[in-house]
Amino acid sequence: MSIPIRIAGISFQVPEAVVTNDDLTKILDTSDEWIRTRTGIERRHVLSGDETAVEMGIKAAEKVLKTSKISADKIDFIIAAASVETHAYPSSACEIQAAIGAVNAACFDITAACSGLIYGMGIARALIKSESAKTVLIVATDAVSRCVDWTDRSTCVLFGDGAGAMMLTVSDDDQDDILAVSLKAEGQFGDFIKMPIPGKNCPLVKPNTQEDMFVKMEGKEVYKYVVTKLPVYVEECVEKSGLKMNEIDYLVPHQANMRIIEALEKRLEFNPENVISNIQEYANTSAASIPIALTEAIHSGKIKLPATAILTGFGAGMTVGTTVVRLREGIA
C-alpha cells in the first residue's frame, strides 16, 4: 500500500526592508505605472545589511516546526531549494539544520529556480513513499536582490527576497495530501534565464572569460514559453491526480508576472476569486513565491481550509513543477 503523506505545516518569512516602484525611480529610468501595468508588482521586500537568505530560511523553518508540532530531531531530511545560496558550501540545508537542531537530518540543496518548492516536494514525496524518510522539511529561500544588476531596469524591478518552509510527514490517517506531482525540465531553453557564477582560472594557465554574476533574462521568451506550456503541464498533473479541474478549490501559481497568472487563470477557467496572487507586495521571490502566497492566503482567510489546490511554478532551466494537494486545517 502506498504510504499516505500529510502536509503538516507551511510558513514564510520576508525581510523588513521594502522598496516601492517609486523608490526605484530614484535609481532607474522607470515608473510605477510601467512596472505595475506590465507585471502587477508594486513593492518588493529585500535583504538589507548583512541579512542572508539562510537566516530567512531558518526563521521560516522555526515557524513551521511550531505549526506542524513536529520536533526538529524527528526530521529525516532537509531539502533547501535555493538558487541564490548564502554559501556554495556548506549547503543552505546544513546551515538550517545546525540552527534548528535537526540532528538526525541528512541535508542537501537543489537548484530548480522558481520551481524549487515543487521539485523539493517531488523528492520528499519519493523519499517518504520509498520508506527512506518519515519526515522531510523543505525550505525554499532566495535572495535574488543580491544577484540582479540594479542598473538593468528590465530585470531588477521584477524580483524580491523571501523564504518559505513546508513540513511533510507520514499521515496518521489514510488521507494522502499530495495527490499528484509533475516535474518537467527543458534544458534546451536554458538561455532564457541565466545567472553565472564567477570563477577565475589558475594563474598558471590561460585566463578564462569571466561573466558578471547578474541575472540575465529574455523576458519575452520566458513569457511565451510559460503561457504556452504551463497550462498544458498543469492539465496533465490534474489528470494524474484523479480530480477534475472544477473540483479543485484554489490555484496558487508562481508569482512572476500578473499577466502570466491571468493568462493561466483564463486558460484553466478558474474563478479569479480562487486564484492566489500577492505579487503586488513581494514581486518574484523565486522558489519562495509559492509558499509565501499560499501561507499568506491561509492567514488572511482568502484560502479557507480544508481545501484542494494546484501549486505550480516555473523558472530557470527551464523547469516547471506542479502538484495537486489537499490542505488540512491548522497547517499555517
Q: Which residues bind ligand ACO (CB under 6 A)?
A: 30, 34-35, 38-39, 113-114, 153-154, 157, 193, 219-220, 222-223, 256-257, 260, 284, 286, 315-316
Instruction: State the pairing for strand pair 135-143/77-81.
Output: parallel
Instruction: State the pairing for strand pair 193-194/178-185.
Output: unpaired
Element (H, E) at 282: helix 279-282
Which residue's entry shows cell 525611480? 25
Nearer to ligand ACO, 107 or 183 (CB): 183
- Assess contact for 316 and 238: CB atoms under 8 A: no
Minimum CB separation from ligand ACO for residue 21, in Å? Answer: 9
Minimum CB separation from ligand ACO for residue 304, in Å? Answer: 29
Minimum CB separation from ligand ACO for residue 258, in Å? Answer: 9
Nearer to ligand ACO, 57 or 315 (CB): 315
Minimum CB separation from ligand ACO for residue 16, in Å? Answer: 23
Nearer to ligand ACO, 127 or 310 (CB): 310
Peptide bond into 318 cis (omega under 30): yes
Peptide bond into 253 cis (omega under 30): no
Q: Which residues are catalytic?
A: 114, 254, 284
CA distance 124 to 253: 20
Nearer to ligand ACO, 167 or 279 (CB): 279
Instruction: State the pairing for strand pair 18-20/5-13.
Output: unpaired
